[in-house]
Amino acid sequence: MSEGLEIDLLEGVGPVTKQKLGNAGVYDIIDLASRGMSDISDMLGGDNEKASELINKARNYLIEKGLLTKEFIPASELYKFRLQIERISTGSKNLDNLLDGGIESGAVTELYGEFGSGKTQICCTLAVIAQLPKEQGGVNGGVIYLDTENTFRPERIAEIAKARGLDAEKLLEGITVAKAYNSSHQELILKELGKFIETAKVKLIVVDSVVSHYRADYLGRGTLAERQQRLNSFMHQLLRLAEIYNVAVVVTNQVQAAPDFFFGDPTRATGGHVVAHLTTYRIYLRKSSKMRIARMVDSPYHAEKEALFIINEKGVDDPPEERKK
């Protein structure tokens, strides 16, 4: 629990409410502020009004403490706040340039592309680099890796660490792997994350992949609306976590490249639009012989541009001819 952020510091929160929240595992203001209304309402026996009042109080408390930005804020202040954003290097200078220095804290970045395009490899490399000090491209933080496809391999982390001359064992210790067995389980894990972020000083959360369980659990058109709604709520919760704890969140999303594919609409597969609207940055990945091409799509301020990178024993890396520069 965060020192100085105990729930009873909020005005008007009595012992009964505190107890109810505590029973559900919510002990501090940060955790409370990061929850969705329905979540807190359930803990309070269905009292929606009280739930939204509590969440607002928690958010206002964090704003007063300078831990969160206000809804209405002068651009100059926002600019200062944005300068504090931390970035995690991807391991490739090209890719970092595309991202203005790396994956951003306080935001959700979506990596999407077809199978083998490098989504998981980028996540694994980030999981290593995030733990390093700033001079080495990291943010000195712990990592949570939510693995929904059972494709996380500690051996690959060890290989990437060794190839970069790092202590593999120590880096493996810094990654907490959560395996989600279905979409409900994935949602349950997300609810538990708040506490974990604080104790393990987490700076990076990976969700690889964010949509696969939803795709599998909601087969058939009839349930499409429900699926989108659940996925929407999952993405909202992730964004709140990113913002409130100032962690970088990276999600992956597999999409099939259509044969007539051009830069039009590569997101027609699953999750597609819900994910697109709720992520801060979207990077489209594709293969081109041995190279990988990343393209920044729909960013609020990055120009739509592309970067070349490769995958090797170091995880993500620059193409050999670029490294010499």
Ligand X SMILES: Nc1ncnc2c1ncn2[C@@H]1O[C@H](COP(=O)(O)OP(=O)(O)OP(=O)(O)O)[C@@H](O)[C@H]1O
Interacting residues toward Mg ion by CB under 5 A? 119-120, 151
Shortest distance, CB of residue 283 to ligand X, whole angstroms?
Answer: 11
Long-range contacts of 48-51 (CB under 8 A, 24+ apart): 50/17
Residue 79 site contact among ligand X, Mg ion, none (CB < 5 to 8 Å, cut-off depends on kind):
none
Residue 266 site contact among Mg ion, ligand X, none (CB < 5 to 8 Å, cut-off depends on kind):
none
312 binds ligand X (CB under 6 A): yes
Structure tokens at 11: 């005005």
Q: How far apart are CA 163 and CA 168, in angstroms?
A: 10
Query: Is 70 in a helix, a strand, or coil?
Result: coil
Residue 59 site contact among ligand X, Mg ion, none (CB < 5 to 8 Å, cut-off depends on kind):
none
* Strand 291-297 versus strand 315-317 pairing type: unpaired
Q: Closer CB to ligand X, residue 61 or residue 309?
A: 309
Contact 308, 287 (CB under 8 A): no
254 binds ligand X (CB under 6 A): yes
Residue 311: DSSP 8-state:
E
Helical H runs in the chain?
15-23, 29-34, 37-43, 48-64, 75-83, 93-98, 119-129, 154-163, 168-173, 183-199, 212-217, 224-245, 272-278, 320-323
Shortest distance, CB of residue 178 to ligand X, whole angstroms?
Answer: 17
Shortest distance, CB of residue 253 to ligand X, whole angstroms?
Answer: 9
90 binds ligand X (CB under 6 A): no
Binding to ligand X in span 141-160, by CB under 6 A: 151, 159
311 binds ligand X (CB under 6 A): yes
Q: Closer CB to Mg ion, residue 20 or residue 215?
A: 215
Nearest CA-CA partner of 311 in 124, 110, 100: 124
Nearest CA-CA partner of 320 in 57, 12, 41, 93: 93
Q: Closer CB to ligand X, residue 79 or residue 115?
A: 115
Q: How far apart are CA 295 and CA 301, in angstroms?
A: 14
- Quickly count: other Cβ atoms within 10 Å of residue 151's Cβ: 15
| Per-residue contact flags (x/-) with ligand X for residues 103 to 142, judged by CB under 6 A | ----------x-xxxxxxx---------------------
Size, binding site for ligand X by CB under 6 A: 14
**Span of 77-85, 125-133, 197-205, 305-313 interacting with ligand X by CB under 6 A:** 305-313
183 binds ligand X (CB under 6 A): no
List residues near ligand X by CB under 6 A. Answer: 113, 115-121, 151, 159, 254, 311-313
